[in-house]
Structure 1
Amino acid sequence: MTHELTTRDLTNDTWDDFVSALGSNGGARGCWCMHWRLSIAEWMEGKGEGNKRAMKNLSRRKPAPGVVVYDGATPVAWCSLGPRSAFARLDRSPLLKRVDDEQVCSVACVFVARGYRRTGLLPSILDAVCDYAAAHGYPAVEGYPVDPPDGRRAGSDTAMTGIASAFREAGFTEVARPRKDRPIMRRAVS
């Protein structure tokens, strides 16, 4: 099933929709999508309300820290994205380290709202995110999904980066596989 999804920058105007998509826990364990933006100590210290305030502050800046994805007027997902340099912890990760010097729009988190999970919506969300990245001048989008072995399901803590099969369905190709279950995938958008 194809969905005509739209994206809107996370700003004060879309803040309530962001909160709706992430739920009362702010995604997994009070993250509020700050996992890749902070050191682990900073993230743990801010867990919950501190991380929520930090994201609220980012939502007031340009460029936006990500987009809320809508199906009509309904927020169905959140995607944390931007230049790889916006994600300090991602850039320091030995597992997901930079594979080359290509300027990419990193998709650090794709969080699908509770009522829309396991519906096959993720490839359409990724298409909408790629359209957004192309409109903002990025040559490529890079993702860091999990690829659970033997058809197993990923847990909410690991699925935050997306699922490899959905990335493949959305036209991404693997550019590296630093670990058996963690490909780095890209899609050219310009």
Structure 2
Amino acid sequence: MTMEVRPASVFEDVPTLLGPKSPDANVCWCLSYRIPSKLNHELRGPARGEYVAGLCRGGTPPGVVAYEDGEPVGWAAVAPRADTSFARSRTIPHVDELPVWSLWCIRVRPGHRKKGVSHALIAGAVDFARDHGAPAIEAYPLDNGDARVDQTMAYAGLRENFERAGFVHAADTTSVLAGHPRVLMRLDLR
């Protein structure tokens, strides 16, 4: 098995990871934290995928894709925090004024879990942010302890996976997802 993580600049690989089974479905497409709420509610069905296609083909790709033997198996959303709704969040604090990047979504395709894909995605997102000049990268994972987390709601990641990647607890938050508190984890890239 060969695992590689690359910037999400090839849109055709992204629907496999984020797209709906039905083209008219209104799934997240990892836009909920990326775009203003009004636009997020206006984009319906195929328009959501078209918006993501524009991001992939535009300047800075909207995240990274993990490939196992050339097949897309995982996704991580990463961008400057200032370009996300985390910039205005009342539940996830700002630690300081550094222009940090945010890593807020990790998805691994069914059939590819428990193979280290999420760890590869975290490392790939860190490299991507570093390559784009980020002084630090933040994540807002679930602090679930030993409790099980529903796969659908585990998109924020788990604290232990970020700790394993060298992130440190930087702040508590008032955000709760799937009944678990979220914490602000940070990795200095300088």
Structure 1-normalised TM-score?
A: 0.83
Task: Say whether 1:67 aligns with 2:100.
Answer: no
Within 1, Cα distance between the matches of 2:78 and 2:158? Answer: 16
Q: What is the CA-CA distance between 1:169 and the residue it aligns to?
A: 1.3
User: Which aligned runs of 4 or more in structure 1 are off by greater than 4 angstroms?
Assistant: none
* Aligned partner (choices 148, 152, 159) of residue 154 of structure 2: 159
Partner of 2:118 in structure 1? 122
Q: CA separation in 2, counterparts of 1:70 and 1:129? A: 14
Check conservation: 2:171, 2:185, Cα contact below 8 A. Answer: yes
The Cα of 1:84 is off from its aligned counterpart by 0.8
The match for 1:98 is 94
Q: 2:14 aligns with which of 1, 15, 18?
A: 18
Q: Is the 8 A contact 1:68 1:78 kept in 2?
A: yes
One-letter amino acid of the structure 2 residue matched with residue 108 of structure 1: W
Distance 1:95 1:86, change over 3 A: same
Q: Of the candidates 164, 169, 187, which is equivalent to residue 169 of structure 1?
A: 164
Instruction: Please report how far the alpha carbon of residue 103 of structure 1 lies from its aligned counterpart in structure 2 after TM superposition.
Output: 2.2
**How far is 1:132 from its partner?**
2.3
**3-state SS of paired residue (2:101):** strand
Query: In the alignment, is the contact (CA less than 8 A) between 1:25 and 1:48 conserved in 2?
Result: no
**Which amino acid in 1 is paired with 2:58?**
R
Q: Secondary structure at the match of 1:186?
A: strand
Q: For the structure 1 residues 94 and 58, does the alpha-carbon distance in structure 2 shift closer, same or farther, using more than 3 Å as the test?
A: same
- Note closer, same or farther for the CA distance 1:155–1:47 as it changes in structure 2 (3 Å cut): farther
Partner of 2:177: none
| Paired residues, number | 183
Q: What is the alpha-carbon distance in structure 1 between the residues aligned to residue 36 and residue 99 of structure 2? A: 23
| % same residue | 31
Aligned to 1:182: 182
Residue 86 of structure 1 deviates from its aligned partner by 1.5
Post-superposition CA distance 1:81-136 (Å, at most 9, x none): 1211121x222221123221122221122222222234443223212221222222
Q: CA deviation at 1:166?
A: 0.9
Question: Are residues 98 and 150 of structure 1, via their aligned partners in 2, closer, same or farther at CA, if it must alter by over 3 Å?
Answer: same
Q: Which one of the candidate residues 127, 133, 140 is aligned to 1:137?
A: 133
Unpaired runs of at least 5, structure 2: 175-179
Amino acid at match of 2:167: F
Contact 2:75 2:106 in 1 (8 A): yes
CA contact (8 A) 1:172 1:186 kept: yes
Q: Matches of residues 79-94 of structure 1 in structure 2 within 5 Å?
A: 79-87=76-84, 89-94=85-90
Residue 50, structure 1, aligned to residue 50, structure 2: no
2:4 is the counterpart of 1:9:
no
| CA root-mean-square deviation | 2.5
Structure 2 counterpart of 1:30: 27
